[in-house]
Amino acid sequence: MKLAIFGATGKTGRQLVEQALAAGHEVRAFARDAARVPIRHERLTVVEGDVRDPERVAEAVAGVDAVLSALGQTPGSTKDVQTVGTRNILEAMGRHNVRRLVSLTGAGVADAADAPKLWNRAFSLLLKRLQPDVLADAEGHARAIRESDRDWVIVRGPRLTEGAKRGRYRVGWVGKGTGPQIARADVADFMLKQVTDNTYLRQAPMISY
C-alpha cells in the first residue's frame, strides 16, 4: 500500500515510518524539515512542508491509499497545529478520494464509550490545568475527524515509552480494560493494523499494556 505519514519526525512517527517500510509499504513522510528524517529507503519519499499549508499537505496525500497521523505540538509549533493540520489532511483526503485515516492522540481526549474511574478524572483535571492548550488542540483534532465523512480510527494512548515492540497489548476504553502505559513501537504496530482492519472503524479505542 501507499501510505502518507504525518508527524514523521516525532518519536512515534519514526516508528510508523520504519515499521511501514519493514512491512513492504510505500511511504510518503511529511516533515517540516526533511533533514530530520534520518531514514533512507527506496520506498520512502519525504515531502517537506508545513502541515498548516493546505497545498503541501495535498501533495503528500495525492495518490496514497491511507493516511496515518502522529501530529502533535512541539517546541515552536502553534497552539492549534494538530487541529489545523488535521483539517488540512481531511480536506486533501476529500480532494484526492482517500478514505482511511488513522490518527494518534492522548487518553485525555474523552469518548462516549469511556467509563473513567476516579484517577482517570483526576488525570483529566490535571491535564486541563497544566496543558490546556495541548488538550484543546487534541480535542479539536478529534472533533474535526469525527465530523468528517472519512473512514477513520482515532487511536488513544496513555503514557508512551521507548520500550521495544512486544506485539501484545490491550485495546479498550478509558477506565475499561486499559493500563497506564505502552511503548511507542506497539502504538505504531496497532496504528498500521488499522489501515486495513475495520474492527474499530469510526471509533476511538485506547491501547495500553
Overall residue count recorded for the chain in this entry: 209
Mean pLDDT, range 61-74, rounded to an integer: 96
Mean pLDDT, range 14-26, rounded to an integer: 98
Q: Is the pLDDT of residue 119 over 90?
A: no
Confidence of residue 126 (pLDDT cuts 50, 70, 90): confident
> What does the alpha-carbon distance between residue 129 and residue 108 come to, in Å, rounded to a whole number?
12
pLDDT score at 77: 87
Measured over the CA atoms of residue 86, residue 203, residue 63 and residue 167, the dihedral's sign is: positive
Percent helix, percent strand, percent coil in the chain, to nearest 5: 35, 25, 40
* Cα 34 to chain centroid, rounded: 19
Q: What is the largest CA-CA distance in the chain?
A: 49
Q: Average per-residue pLDDT in the chain?
A: 95
> What does the alpha-carbon distance between residue 18 and residue 185 come to, in Å, rounded to a whole number?
10
In this structure, are residues 5 and 28 in contact, taking their beta carbons and an 8 Å threshold? Answer: yes
Tell me 196's DSSP state: T
Rg (CA), the chain: 16
Burial class (CB in 10 A: 0-12, 13-18, 19+), 55: exposed
pLDDT score at 120: 79
CA nearest 154: which of 140, 133, 136?
140
Q: Is the pLDDT of residue 69 over 80?
A: yes
DSSP states of 134-175? HHHHHHHHHHHHHTSSSEEEEEEESEEE-PPP-S--EEEBTT
Look up residue 102 and give its three cell numbers: 488513522
Residues 177-188: pLDDT tens digits? 899 999 999 999
Residues 140-154: pLDDT tens digits? 999 999 999 999 999
Domain positions in the chain: 2-208
Domain 2-208 architecture: 3-Layer(aba) Sandwich (3.40)
Reduced to 3 states, what is the DSSP secondary structure of residue 80? coil
